[in-house]
Amino acid sequence: MAAPNASPARYDVIIIGAGIIGCAVALSLSRKGYKTLNVDALPAAGYGSTSSSAAVIRTYYSTLDGTAMALEGYHDWKAWQQTIGADTEEGLARFVETGTLVMKTAADNYQKHVLEHADRLGIPYEHWGAEKIQEELPGYDLTCYAPAKTMEDDDFGTPTGGVLDGGVYFPWSGYVDDPQIAARNLKDAAARLGAEFRFNTRVTAIPVQDNRVTGVSCADGTHVPGGIVINVAGPHSGKVNALLEGDPGIRIGHRPLRQEVVQIKPPERLGYSREGLIVSDNDIAVYVKPGSGGQLMIGSQNPACDVHIEENPDNFARDLTDRALAYAYRYSQRLPELGVSQHPVGIADLYDATDDWLPVYDRTDVDGYYLAIGTSGNQFKNAPVAGRLMTDLISYCEDGGDQDNAPLQFRLSHVDHALNTATFSRKRELTKESSFSVLG
């Protein structure tokens, strides 16, 4: 048995993190012949924030590239067995296609830009008026309440005039039934190709020599050599960047933000005719998706009243707070018969979010050190695409491509579109088209 500080075999790429995107990166790189190692402080793939993901798969985003990437991801999830190269469907995560209803509100310009992107990329949609919405969602109240408020506001629950002008239904959307299993599917597919994974292992330093990473040092005293290191550490990505012996040159901010999702079971007497419809409603600033046992999962769309709370990813409370209760009460404005418990149940976890809520997929100022960060909240659906993008980005940069001045144009596999990867640059200014919310 090797001594604790002995150097293991050298890897082509060391991936810090084994969530849904870290495992997707490992699979894509392994398919290209790279020898990879994922290092994660947690005990299993997808064990961290991935396991708390709403795992919504949708095809609408605020930017054209974001929309195209999501459409590409939809096709990956639609054919999940083929995407991961599995011999059988047994043990695989399942994509449940439900469709998504996005309410038309003044704050999002009645979906004008979203629909322009859909038209350009051939994404189907339907306009639903009030009658259709109430047919599909019995008891639904379309009164306007914007802007969204907290329960401490004296005007909480007070109508602000008028009713919603219908919504847009996107049939190509749904959710993955078990996000952690999805990460493990990717991990197992990568392992079949030779990828290695080391769990319960914390990285303590990322050494640099002559402005190039040399691998990672771990808490057990080992140094794992490798010429390329990728930070895919989710809410821990800021802490991982701090371990780098050099400046990665990141201009846009990112931080771990607290997110809460409350679960409520609607009254059976409502008799929803469309089981599992996902709803995004910017007027009350919540999204709603089906959960297990007929429950609804309700989360925030990050309006101004829901103040960002930055947390320490190594020490934060997972109990729900009044924030989650407020989300439930906002949705009860739509469904007065909903019934909200004063002791809500649900999930509290962290998103690694950038200042404009779009991800960073990029190289850095330190050679061999790459980033797939700021992805929490709206990039689960894009994980397989992100894996391929990072693989091509690494090949481009390691072959001498100048990513900062002549960024990679990443050609999608299922969609006739090339992503300008400058969209995901660490040095970008704020993306003006962004929703500046979990919607991306």
Pick among 3.50.50.60, 3.40.50.620, 3.40.640.10, 3.40.50.10090: CATH of 11-88+178-253+357-424: 3.50.50.60
Tell me, yes or no, if the two domains 11-88+178-253+357-424 and 100-171+254-353 fold the same way.
no
Which alpha helices (H) appear in 79-110, and where do they start and end?
Answer: 80-84
Residues in a beta bridge with 221:
none
Q: What percent of the chain is predicted at pLDDT more than 90? A: 87
pLDDT-based confidence at residue 33 (cuts at 50, 70, 90): very high
**Cβ of 231: how many Cβ atoms within 10 Å?**
27
Q: Which residues contact 96 (CB under 8 A, 6 or more apart)?
A: 174, 175, 176, 177, 276, 290
pLDDT of residue 182: 98
**Cβ of 153: how many Cβ atoms within 10 Å?**
13
Specify the CATH number of the domain 100-171+254-353.
3.30.9.10
- Residue 149 and residue 159: Cα distance in Å, rounded? 11
Q: Which residues of 276-297 are buried (b: 16+ CB within 10 A; e: fewer)?
A: bbbbbbbbbbbbbbbbeeebbb
- Residue 303 and residue 262: Cα distance in Å, rounded? 17
The DSSP output letter for 194 is T
- For the chain, the average pLDDT equals 94
Decide if 262 contacts 344 (C-beta within 8 A): yes
pLDDT reading at 6 higher than 50: no
Q: Name the residue with tokens 């009713």.
A: 163
Torsional class of 200: left (φ above 0), alpha (ψ -120 to 50), beta (otherwise): left
- Angle among Cα 174, 326, 166 to the nearest 5 degrees reads 50
Decide if 20 contacts 182 (C-beta within 8 A): yes
Q: pTM above 0.85?
A: yes
pLDDT of residue 267: 72
pLDDT-based confidence at residue 275 (cuts at 50, 70, 90): low
pLDDT tens for 196-225 read 999 999 999 999 999 999 999 999 999 999
pLDDT tens for 95-146 read 999 999 999 999 889 999 999 999 999 999 999 999 999 988 888 899 999 9
pLDDT of residue 340: 82
Helix H or strand E segment including 264: strand 254-264
pLDDT of residue 291: 83
Enumerate the domain spans of the chain: 11-88+178-253+357-424, 100-171+254-353
Which of 5-19, 276-290, 372-386 has the lowest average pLDDT? Answer: 5-19
pLDDT reading at 7 higher than 60: no
